């Protein structure tokens, strides 16, 4: 039924995802799903397409997913596998390596620089990483439970790891060492008069991050000094955390508007807001990024509270969404996630990640596979 996506997939989860899942909530989730599926079958056949609310409230649906719902979940599984891969790299060097998020052994100078943003940064990086691993594993397990093919990107895990001490030497899906970070989300969430869904455009918080290629993890031990260089790398990571998580914060409501099965909608409405929790955390932390200039490449992080910055567009303690225009400019302004337009949302996410340099080094085959998953998701329409 997944021929709609047109992408050959492996049936296994990513190695890191599977390994972590085994060691953490795997058994709990497996028994939950097994119990739920058994209950669904026992309760009788679910209607095709939409399931009734009563059914959705009391058990796990057992009918086959519609083509559109499967395509949306498959794209989200791919997005979560990509998120898990990048967060795993951050955790190996700057997070907490433990049985919940194994791999790597940490980089003390990088972690020290990250902790300038908040003393709890390693914990937050760890928890964000674990969240993404569980998002990917859950969506894939759910796809399987509804007779759809799960997504694996394992064949594309070919990008190099950081050579810095503390990183695992394994193939990666994402490149965190040549990022062009879009920080316009910072000013977008502070605007009271513009919304990307109504044609608004926004200035970057850190202009320099949009004008070159910068590492967000130390590429090697040579990058652990001088002090302002490793601080600039940690600051880049701090802004990239927000860039990634604001993407997820928009993606779930964008795609939720086109699912047809209430249980699939429930999944999107239950995972999506956790992305907003991540965004809110990173939005707050990166406001503490020290104003530094990287002596190796000139990348400048300004003090956003001082002229020519400051005010509502930049002030670092304004971390909740300012109310803005929504749907029609004649309506009163409202505090909302932005953007939430649904047309072309999956392809838009792929473009944003690609433009950030996250996939630098991948073969054409990778981009073709990802775009096929995205275009299948964007072709999904609610089937009532």
Considering beta carbons, is residue 26 or 212 the nearer one to Fe ion?
26
Cα torsion at 345, 346, 347, 353 (round to 10°)? 110
The two structure tokens encoding residue 56: 């959705």
In whole angstroms, how close is the CB of 272 to Fe ion at the nearest point? 9
CB closer to Fe ion, 273 vs 290: 273
Specify the residue, 83 or 228, whose C-beta has the smaller distance to Fe ion.
83
Least Å distance between CB 101 and Fe ion?
A: 14
Provide the minimum distance between the beta carbon of 63 and Fe ion in the complex, in angstroms, as a whole number: 26
Ramachandran assignment for 175, one of left (phi > 0), alpha (psi -120 to 50 degrees), beta (any other): beta
Assign residue 6 a region (left: φ > 0; alpha: ψ between -120 and 50; beta: otherwise): left
Would you say 223 or 275 has its CB closer to Fe ion?
A: 275
Residue pair 172/382 in contact (Cβ under 8 Å)? The answer is no
250, 340, 375 from 256: Cα distances, Å? 10, 10, 16
Least separation in angstroms between CB 130 and Fe ion: 11
Closest contact distance (angstroms) between CB of 123 and Fe ion is: 16
CA 200 – CA 374 distance, rounded (Å): 24
**Closest to Fe ion by CB, 123 or 193:** 123
Q: What is the DSSP letter of 13?
A: P
CA 154 to chain centre: 18
Residue 275 CB, shortest distance to Fe ion, in Å, is 5
Binding site for Fe ion (CB under 5 A): 80, 83, 132, 135, 245, 248, 275
Task: Compare residues 9 and 136 and give the one whose CB is closer to Fe ion.
Answer: 136
Residue nearest to Fe ion (CB): 135
Tallying the residues shown for the chain, one arrives at: 384
């Amino acid at each position: 039924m997944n021929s709609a996506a047109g992408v050959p997939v492996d049936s296994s989860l990513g190695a890191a995802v599977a390994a972590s899942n085994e060691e953490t909530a795997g058994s709990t989730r497996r028994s939950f799903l097994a119990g739920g599926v058994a209950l669904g079958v026992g309760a009788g056949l679910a209607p095709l397409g939409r399931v009734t609310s009563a059914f959705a409230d009391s058990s796990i649906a057992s009918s086959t997913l519609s083509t559109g719902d499967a395509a949306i979940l498959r794209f989200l599984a791919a997005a979560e596998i990509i998120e898990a891969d990048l967060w795993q790299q951050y955790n190996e060097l700057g997070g907490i390596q433990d049985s919940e998020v194994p791999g790597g052994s940490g980089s003390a100078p990088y972690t020290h620089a990250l902790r300038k943003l908040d003393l709890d940064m390693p914990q937050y990086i760890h928890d964000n990483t674990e969240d993404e691993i569980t998002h990917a594993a859950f969506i894939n397990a759910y796809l399987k439970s509804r007779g759809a093919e799960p997504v694996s990107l394992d064949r594309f895990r070919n990008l190099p790891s950081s050579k810095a001490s503390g990183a695992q030497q394994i193939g990666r899906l994402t490149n965190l060492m040549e990022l062009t970070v879009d920080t316009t989300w910072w000013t977008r969430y502070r605007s009271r008069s513009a919304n990307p869904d109504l044609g608004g455009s926004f200035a970057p918080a850190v202009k320099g991050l949009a004008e070159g290629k910068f590492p967000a993890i130390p590429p090697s031990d040579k990058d652990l000094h001088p002090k302002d260089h490793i601080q600039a790398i940690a600051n880049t990571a701090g802004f990239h955390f927000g860039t990634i998580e604001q993407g997820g914060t928009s993606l779930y409501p964008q795609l939720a508007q086109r699912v047809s099965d209430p249980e699939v909608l429930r999944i999107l409405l239950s995972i999506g807001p956790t992305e907003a929790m991540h965004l809110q955390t990173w939005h707050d932390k990166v406001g503490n990024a020290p104003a530094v200039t990287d002596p190796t490449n000139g990348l400048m992080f300004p003090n956003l509270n001082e002229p020519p910055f400051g005010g509502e567009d930049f002030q670092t303690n304004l971390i909740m969404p300012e109310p803005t225009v929504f749907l029609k400019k004649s309506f009163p302004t409202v505090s909302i996630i932005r953007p939430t337009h649904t047309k072309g949302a999956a392809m838009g996410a792929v473009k944003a990640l690609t433009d950030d340099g996250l996939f630098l080094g991948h073969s054409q085959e990778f981009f073709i596979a990802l775009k096929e998953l995205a275009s299948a998701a964007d072709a999904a329409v609610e089937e009532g």
